[in-house]
Amino acid sequence: MDTTLQDPLVGQVLDGRYRVDARIAVGGMATVYRALDTRLDRILALKVMHPALAADGSFVERFIREAKSVARLAHPNVVQVFDQGMDRAYVYLAMEYVAGCTLRDVLRERGALQPRAALDILEPVLAALGAAHRAGFVHRDMKPENVLIGDDGRVKVADFGLVRSVDTVTSTTGAVLGTVAYLAPEQIENGTTDPRVDVYACGVVLHEMLTGAKPHDGDSPVTVLYKHLHEDVPPPSATVAGLAYELDELVTSATARAPGGRPNDAVALLAQVRRARAELTAEQLDAVPPQAFAAEHDIAEDRTSVIPRSLAIPRLLPVNDDDVPGAAAGNRTARFETSGLPPRRWSVPPGRGLLSLVVAVLVVLGGGIGVWYINSGQFTRVPPLLAKTEAQARERLRETGLDVRQVEHAYSDTVRRGTVISTEPGAGARIRNNDSVTLTVSDGPETVKVPDLADHGLADAKALLRQGGLEPGMVTRAFSDSVPKDSVIGTDPVPGTVRRAGSAITLTVSKGSPIDVPDVTGDDLDRAREHLEEAGLKVEVSAEQVNSEHDAGSVAEQTPEGDSEAAEGDTVRLTLSKGPEMIEVPDVVGTSVGDAKKQLEASGFQVSEDRGLLGLFGSTVEKQSVNAGRTAPKGSTITITIR
């Protein structure tokens, strides 16, 4: 049943912008939806905090603060945060949408991964965390569920919901934040979090990728926490025999129980991973874990199980004749034991009977060998060929007795051009000798040229970009005397530039030829409207009015201002005047000139002095042009006569 049908948010539009289309996942703190940004016409992920948590003001404040922190992590392996907001009871983050699956999905489907694949996933994860650590943040909840693997192969770290600054220490009283299977001992004991807790979690994730299982399990979370505190994470080779020593070293180093025994941060662990990879041979990197064969192995054992049973030839054990009632020389008795079967008593006639038994054993044995040949002798397994060149892959298949059926090509952001992305059947598959394998070889990242969109309408330009494998990005507008309004002037990058498929292209769209905006301040409304419409502009009158030096009913303000530039059809907003603000004039007669000016200017008036011949050397105000207690327009001039 589609549970999204029962979700009240599906179908709603948040903040008049984000249309919620489907629920993707539900977590402990928030629900993630696929949504459409109707303003930019792009798909994104919307992370909406659970309403119960949204009622906690301090939690919301932390949620927003952390969102702003993550938004500063501009890294290709970090899921980007575009926007944050609140609509009614919904507090949300708008984030990059990654079409694909999580590492958890991969592990659930495939079990253990080849070392090469595990390191290919771990390296971009560490690069993302390294950027966070060097920016001063700790993720605190690293686990396979938070590692996204896009359909294009790109790896991104998601859900920095528990992110903290490096120097933050949080108390675990009453609760432990994070996921118990990946918590470092110091997180459990005292809540201390620094980059090394992420290093520990990555070591656990690497162990899980190499073995298909978490290193610590138990009947309850408390049991798992206890093991983190008191037991070392075992080396992967203890579970998967034959794994390289360098891989054991990586896991052991990253998961040291004492923080001081681990690399200082993800950058240091990444360097260690790259050194280990350089020391591993191709065979060690491409070693197929046993889990990959688990189902086939079980079937093969069923088919050839006659071999061990036939080889468990009954062993003749002498039995004391006294133990057998009625024993006689002509009726000798013996006991045979077979592996896994209880002792049975067989009556064995001498001579011919013994010969018949030997013949029967040989027939069974021969039948077992025949079954083995039919079921296994004619088959082989597809060798691991990832990251090998086409020539190397062909040679390896030839050595195995296999042939190349055909070679297909595909784009890849992670596999080097000219090397094998995948095979059909896949590595480790059991096929007949002399059968053939299809190779898929990387053409490198898919790249396309930016088309020339000049003079195309905006809608057409966006459609052409999408048809060409690109995405329309930010739209800016500029005046142009040559390009019609609403048509594209140019792109950034310029036409002909090669870009990776899916890249966003900035469009500059014409506003048409610029128009000089008439200055209509001080004009009455009808005259102002006439001037603006004659210039090709629209008029909008504000419902509010303001005091100004202009007469009541005339234009006090306009946006955009007079003598600026606008596009044809643009709207000019007019604000009408309520007339000047009237202010009571203070009494300054008899005061000194300095005090009089201070009082009048503080009340909002301009001051003019009238000294005449008799007041050239005077210092006291004899008269003021507007009597005290009367009102005058704010900003008007009051003349004081000095004696």
Same domain, 125 and 181: yes
pLDDT of residue 290: 67
pLDDT at 526 over 70: yes
pLDDT of residue 378: 66
- What is the dihedral sign for C-alpha 250, 254, 256, 261? positive
Same domain, 120 and 199: yes
Number of CB atoms found within 10 A of residue 613's CB: 5
Task: Single out the residue in 510, 533, 564 at which a domain terminates.
Answer: 510
Average pLDDT rounded to a whole number, residues 469-482: 88
Q: Tell me 212's DSSP state.
A: S
Per-residue pLDDT tens digits for 12-68: 999 899 999 999 888 777 889 999 999 888 999 999 988 877 777 777 777 777 677
Whole-Å CA distances, 135 to 66, 75, 165, 186, 192: 13, 11, 9, 22, 18
Same domain, 165 and 260: yes
pLDDT of residue 374: 34
Tell whether 91 is covered by a domain. Answer: yes
Tell whether 347 is covered by a domain. Answer: no
Tell whether 322 is covered by a domain. Answer: no
* Overall domain count for the chain: 7
Same domain, 527 and 397: no
Q: What CA–CA distance (Å, rounded) separates 516 from 553?
A: 24
Tell whether 342 is covered by a domain. Answer: no
pLDDT of residue 280: 92
Range scoring the smallest mean pLDDT among 339-353, 389-403, 549-563: 339-353
Distance, CA of 178 to chain centre: 18
pLDDT of residue 542: 92
Same domain, 518 and 466: no
pLDDT at 233 over 60: yes
Query: Which positions ≥6 away from 453 have C-beta within 8 Å?
Result: 461, 464, 465, 488, 490, 491, 495, 507
Has 198 been annotated as catalytic? no
pLDDT of residue 293: 39
Average pLDDT rounded to a whole number, residues 427-440: 86
Average pLDDT rounded to a whole number, residues 110-125: 94
Q: What CA–CA distance (Å, rounded) separates 70 from 289?
A: 36
Looking at residue 242, which CATH number applies to its domain? 1.10.510.10
Of the listed 141, 265, 523, 570, which one is catalytic? 141
* Full domain range(s) for residue 49: 1-97
Same domain, 620 and 546: no
Tell whether 202 is covered by a domain. Answer: yes
Same domain, 405 and 523: no
Looking at residue 565, which CATH number applies to its domain? 3.30.10.20
| Percentages of the chain per state (helix, strand, coil), in multiples of 5 | 35, 30, 40
pLDDT at 343 over 50: no
Helix axis angle for 245-254 and 195-211, nearest 10°, is 150
Tell whether 404 is covered by a domain. Answer: yes
Q: What CA–CA distance (Å, rounded) separates 143 from 128?
A: 14
> Token pair of 123, please?
């390296």
Same domain, 236 and 147: yes
Per-residue pLDDT tens digits for 415-432: 778 888 889 988 878 888
pLDDT of residue 527: 94
Q: What CA–CA distance (Å, rounded) separates 456 from 446?
A: 25
Higher-pLDDT residue of 613, 427: 427
Task: Single out the residue in 74, 97, 120 at which a domain terminates.
Answer: 97
Same domain, 105 and 149: yes
Same domain, 489 and 452: yes
Same domain, 386 and 529: no
Same domain, 122 and 237: yes
pLDDT of residue 414: 67
Looking at residue 70, which CATH number applies to its domain? 3.30.200.20
- Average pLDDT of the residues of the chain: 80
Question: Residue holding tokens 């191709």?
Answer: 282
Average pLDDT rounded to a whole number, residues 148-173: 64
Task: Single out the residue in 472, 494, 510 at which a domain terminates.
Answer: 510
